[in-house]
């Protein structure tokens, strides 16, 4: 019964969402939001956090049940070792995970390969790494990177030029920070709280470039590589809720993981329904691999335009 219900949900996705999204892709009106699941084959943040929590030099009191959570462990390290320590260690780890260090065949059917082949002008990521930029460069494009100015300290960093992004010079916007700029990384529990408060009080005008703000209201937003328990997913959706006046007509496509029990599925629907008054949300139930396979098969001609 549960699988049949999921098939019905994705049947609606097939009938309406695929047609709408592929049309938006062809018109360059789709903005992917890339989550940690996009790179989990190469970047295992859970393992990084576990190493931090069990490092005797850090003396983390990992009797806490949530010692595997990056924001919680980062908070402890920041308090005991200094603000730069968790950011520096995480940045060093992520910089070692660049495209040039992976066999080419591993990326052939990855999120990054397929998204790069869509030839879109804007990509938003809640990851700190530069894998999206790496693959865009590998595809012959010249991407620019930028990050969210979510506190007053970040306002001193120069902003990008006002030149609008294009498929040959796409913008990769790091919503939760960039490994090249430590202060921009939304990492600890306090960072997430401050991020949400800043956007709630100041809106997106100072936090995001004009080209992104302008296109958000006119594009389908494709969320891929997220788990519902990810802090980044929850924070981003709460932020979108605050920007509802801007996004009142936006369509949001959310790829959700498999292996979800029926009662969990209902809870997820209830959560997403909180946003339905302002956002047209369609969840796709299935693995990231299944979603990408269908996207490639259905949109091959669109991607190569």
pLDDT at residue 42, as a whole number: 84
Closest CA to 45 of 111, 112, 90: 90
Output the six-digit token pair for 233.
């997913």
pLDDT tens per residue, range 53-111: 888 888 787 655 554 588 888 998 899 988 888 999 899 889 888 766 666 666 677 88
pLDDT tens per residue, range 174-233: 999 999 998 899 999 899 989 888 887 776 677 888 888 888 878 888 888 877 666 677
**For the chain, what is the largest distance between any 2 Cα atoms, rounded to a whole number of angstroms?**
55
pLDDT at residue 278, as a whole number: 53
Rounded to two decimals, what is the model's pTM? 0.85
Check: CB of residue 177 under 8 Å from CB of residue 184.
Answer: yes
Choose between 224 and 288: higher pLDDT.
224
Q: How many CB atoms lie within 10 A of CB 200?
A: 13
pLDDT at residue 300, as a whole number: 59
Question: Binning pLDDT at 50, 70 and 90, where does residue 2 land?
Answer: very low
Residue 162 CA to residue 56 CA, distance in Å, equals 48
Q: Is the pLDDT of residue 291 over 60?
A: yes
pLDDT at residue 178, as a whole number: 94
As a residue count, the chain comes to 305
Residue 8 CA to residue 112 CA, distance in Å, equals 28
Residue 45 to residues 12, 50, 71, 113, 215, Cα–Cα distance (Å): 34, 8, 11, 21, 31
Tell how strand 220-224 and strand 30-34 pair up.
Answer: parallel
pLDDT at residue 67, as a whole number: 47
pLDDT tens per residue, range 17-33: 688 788 888 899 899 99
DSSP run (H or E) holding 141: none
Residue 42 CA to residue 40 CA, distance in Å, equals 5
Choose between 140 and 104: higher pLDDT.
140
Output the six-digit token pair for 195.
């991020």
pLDDT tens per residue, range 223-268: 888 776 666 777 777 776 665 555 544 556 666 655 555 666 666 6
Choose between 294 and 178: higher pLDDT.
178
Alpha helices in 42-188 (DSSP H): 45-54, 70-81, 84-95, 104-107, 111-116, 131-138
pLDDT at residue 205, as a whole number: 74
């Amino acid at each position: 019964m549960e699988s049949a219900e999921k098939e019905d949900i994705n049947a609606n996705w097939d009938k309406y969402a695929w047609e709408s999204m592929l049309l938006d892709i062809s018109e360059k009106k789709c903005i992917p939001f890339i989550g940690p699941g996009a790179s989990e084959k190469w970047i295992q943040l859970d393992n990084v956090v576990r190493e931090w929590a069990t490092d005797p030099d850090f003396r983390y009191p990992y009797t806490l049940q949530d010692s595997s959570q990056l924001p919680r462990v980062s908070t402890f390290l920041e308090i005991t070792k200094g603000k730069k320590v968790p950011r520096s260690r995480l940045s060093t780890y992520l910089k070692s995970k660049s495209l040039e260090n992976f066999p080419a065949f591993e990326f052939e059917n990855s999120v990054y390969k397929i998204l790069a082949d869509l030839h879109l002008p804007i990509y938003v990521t809640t990851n700190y790494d530069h894998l999206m930029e790496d693959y865009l460069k590998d595809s012959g494009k010249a991407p620019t990177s930028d990050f969210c100015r979510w506190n007053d300290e970040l306002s001193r960093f120069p902003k990008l030029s006002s030149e609008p992004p294009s498929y040959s010079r796409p913008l990769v916007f790091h919503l939760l920070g960039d490994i090249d700029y430590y202060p921009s990384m939304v990492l600890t529990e306090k960072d997430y709280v401050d991020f949400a408060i800043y956007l709630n009080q100041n809106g997106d005008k100072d936090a995001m470039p004009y080209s992104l703000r302008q296109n958000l209201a006119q594009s389908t937003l494709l969320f891929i590589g997220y788990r519902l328990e990810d802090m980044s997913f929850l924070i981003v959706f709460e932020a979108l809720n605050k920007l509802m006046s801007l996004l009142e007509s936006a369509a949001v496509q959310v790829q959700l993981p498999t292996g979800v029990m029926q009662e969990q599925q209902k809870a997820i629907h209830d959560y997403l329904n909180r946003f339905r008054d302002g956002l047209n949300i369609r969840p796709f139930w299935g693995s990231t691999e299944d979603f990408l396979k269908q996207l490639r098969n259905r949109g091959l001609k669109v991607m190569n335009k």
